Structures are given as C-alpha cells and as structure tokens.
Amino acid sequence: MMQRVERNGADSQLRMRFGKISLLILGVAATCAGAGGTIALERLGLLAPQEAAQAIVKVPAEALVIPSPEMPAGADRFSYVSLDIGDLRWGEPKIEIVPVAVAPLKTLADEIASPWSTETRAERVIPLLEPPRLAVRPPQASAWTMPKASAPLRDYRMARKLAEISPGATPRLEAKFRSAKVAWPPAEVAFVTIKDERAVELHARPADGEWKLVHRYRVLAASGKSGPKLLEGDKQVPEGIYGISYLNPASRYHVSLRVNYPNNFDRQMAAKDGRRKLGGDIMFHGKAVSAGCIAVGDEAAEELFVLAANVGLPNVKVVIAPSDFRKNGLPTADPAKPEWLPGLYTQVASAMTPFKPAPQPHLLSSFFGN
C-alpha cells in the first residue's frame, strides 16, 4: 500500500515538470515565429526596420485618446444659467432654449382676498316652466293671542312636584268649586288680578259654559304702582291680557306660574316708543315677597299651579288691571303717561266684562287668609 502511494506521488511530480517544460517550449516557439515573420517582411520590402520602430515608438498622443462629444461643464447648484449663453450642444443634436414667460410672484396680500372685495358673475337665467305662484302670508297673530299649547309636562321634577302638592291642593280646590257651585274639573280658568285691591279672582267655566267666580285670593306682596310695565328693572307689575307660558316646579318661591309678558301688544308699543329692554319673568308665586311679581302665598300658589297643570296652559287666561273697571269705570287720560294707555285700558275693560265682580270683601277677610 505504501509503495502504491509513493508511486502516485512520483507520477504527479513528473506531470507537473512536463507541463512547465511544455509551456516554456510554446513560448519560445511563439517568439521565434514572431521574429521570423518580421524578418520575412523586411526581406520582402514591406516593412522598414526604422519605420516599424517609429510606428511603435512615435505614435501621436492624440491617436491614443478616444474622441468623445463635447460636454458642458458641470453646473454649480448655487449658480444659474443665463439665457444669453447661446445654444447648448450635445454632439450633433441641438437643444434650443425657448424663453418661457414667468408670472410675477404674488405677495401674501395678493393671496388673501379682501373682506370688502366683491365678485360679479354672469348667471344664466332659467326660464320658468310655469307661472310664479303668489306667496300666501300667514295670518298675523293678534296682540291678545293666547300662548300656543306647550309640550306635555314630562319633566320628572314636574311629576314629582305635582305628586307632592296635589294631594293637599286638589281637595282644597274641589271644596272651593263646590262652594261656588261650579263644575269640577273645569274646562277653562281665568286669573283676574286687580292691582289696587291686591286681589286675584279665580274664574272658571265648563266647556261651552258661562264664567263663574270660584274664589278670591289675596295678594301678599306686589311692587310698583298703577300703570303698565315699560322697562326692565322698573319693578312694575304689567297690565294687559296675558296667558301662562310656563310652570316652574323648582321656584325659589315654592312654585310659580310664568306670565307671558311681554306679549304682542307690549312689543308693538315698545317699538313705537323706541323702548328695547322690556324685562320679563313675571310670575304668580308663593311666599310673601315680590319684585314685579304677584306673591299669593304657598297654598294659593299650589292651587293655581295644580289647576293650570290640570286644565292645560292654553286654557288659562290672565287679566291684570290697575283697578276694577267693572265697578270704577275707565280712568281719565293722564298726559304724563303713554298716549296708547287709554286704548290698552279699553281692551282690558272689555276683557273683564265676562267675569262678574266679587262682592265687596268683609272687613275681617283682610286680616285672614284665603
């Protein structure tokens, strides 16, 4: 086995030596062939010995450079190319620079449209396919129009307050209606308030029936004097024909009923006089304190509150007069008061006509409650 390995190693060394010798012989043969070819050309006169040397040695430097098209110098990114340099060349094709009109730069003031600028556009007129219709103007509300029906009383505070005060107020109301021989429950009610007598008359009637006096409540507190309310903060109780627009179960004065002052007539007269701030939030409420409202005490306020909730606010009418025109007649015109006041009092007197006046209260009734 060892002999076979040694024999293979010797064979490989011989092959390598033979390969090197072969390469050397080929190189010598190629050199001789080249020299022989050169000598043969010289003998035939085709190649002079000096020209051949010069052809090899004296080759012009330009011949070694491969011609290439002219290229423009690299542009500097901080410079610009002027339009006056002429045509740029890239080999044979020519690139012609065409001047382009550049719009002037706009300033920030040009970009933002002026708030006072106007734009006029021509609109295409579309012919009507049918003749125009006349617009029917809705009927204008009267100055004495009652407030519209409000949404159902779904406020949980309202339900809770009614559940709290109705068990006491309803029996008291039923007793007053029985005493006055008026059907219970009524279809409509009216609160006729007489300022100089400090009284609120409760009138009621069934459906398609006559008005009857049910009870006369005493006003415990009311500010101001005779005359209408004209401005906010004058602490006057308004005078006119109104309705109840809102029931407040969370009033600071127990419960309250909001009078819909100013009404249409109040606004019309204010516009005529140039008055703007007319005030508001005139209430029938509990307790015994007032600043432009009508305070009738807690029990009376509960009864009016429950009664208005039962019949519905559109069925509650309010008349506020400086005096009982049914007994005293209309006052004489006062030049110091608004010129429209006599007309207002005429309307109030007419509104009081369906309600029969209460008999003169006994002297002791002024010292006791309702």
CB-CB neighbours of 187 under 10 Å? 14
In the structure encoding, which two tokens stand for residue 173, read together?
């109301």
Mean pLDDT, rounded, of the chain? 76
Average pLDDT over residues 143-157: 55
Structural domains in the chain, CATH included, are 156-324+337-357 (2.40.440.10)
pLDDT number for residue 265: 95
pLDDT number for residue 244: 96
What predicted TM-score, i.e. pTM, was given to this entire model?
Answer: 0.58
Neighbouring-strand partners of residue 192: 201, 319
Of 130-139, 184-193, 253-262, the range with the lowest mean pLDDT is 130-139
Higher pLDDT, residue 340 or 55: 340
Q: Kindly tell me the burial class for residue 337, based on how many C-beta atoms sit within 10 Å of its own C-beta (0-12, 13-18, 19 or more).
A: middle
Confidence of residue 208 (pLDDT cuts 50, 70, 90): confident
Confidence of residue 54 (pLDDT cuts 50, 70, 90): very low
Confidence of residue 296 (pLDDT cuts 50, 70, 90): very high
In the structure encoding, which two tokens stand for residue 67, read together?
């011609």
Residue by residue, what is the 3-state secondary structure of the chain? CHHHHHHHHHHHHHHHHHHHHHHHHHHHHHHHHHHHHHHHHHHHCCCCHHHHHHHHHCCCHHHHCCCCCCCCCCCCCCCCCCCCCCCEECCCCEECCCCCCCCCCCCHHHHCCCCCCCCCCCCCCCCCCCCCCCCCCCCCCCCCCCCCCCCCCCCHHHHHHHHHHHHHHHHHHHHHHHHHCCCCCCCEEEEEEECCCCEEEEEEECCCCCCEEEEEEECCECCCCCCCCCCCCCCCCCCEEEEEEEEEEEECCEEEEEECCCCHHHHHHHHHHCCCCCCCCEEEECCCCCCCCEECCHHHHHHHHHHHHHHCHHHEEEEEECCCHHHHCCCCCCCCCCCCHHHHHHHHHHHHCCCCCCCCCCHHHHCCCC
pLDDT number for residue 293: 92
- Label residues 188-220 b or e (16+ Cβ within 10 Å = b): bbbbbbbbebbbbbbbbbeeeeebbbbbbbbbb
| 305-334 pLDDT tens trace | 999 999 999 999 999 999 999 999 999 888
CA of 182: how far to CAs of 262, 263, 313, in Å? 32, 30, 20
Cβ atoms 217, 199 nearer than 8 A: yes
Q: Kindly tell me the burial class for residue 223, based on how many C-beta atoms sit within 10 Å of its own C-beta (0-12, 13-18, 19 or more).
A: middle
φ, ψ (nearest 5 deg) of residue 111: -70, -35
In the structure encoding, which two tokens stand for residue 117, read together?
């600028």
pLDDT number for residue 218: 97
Residue 245 neighbours by CB under 8 Å, 6+ apart: 147, 150, 258, 259, 260, 313
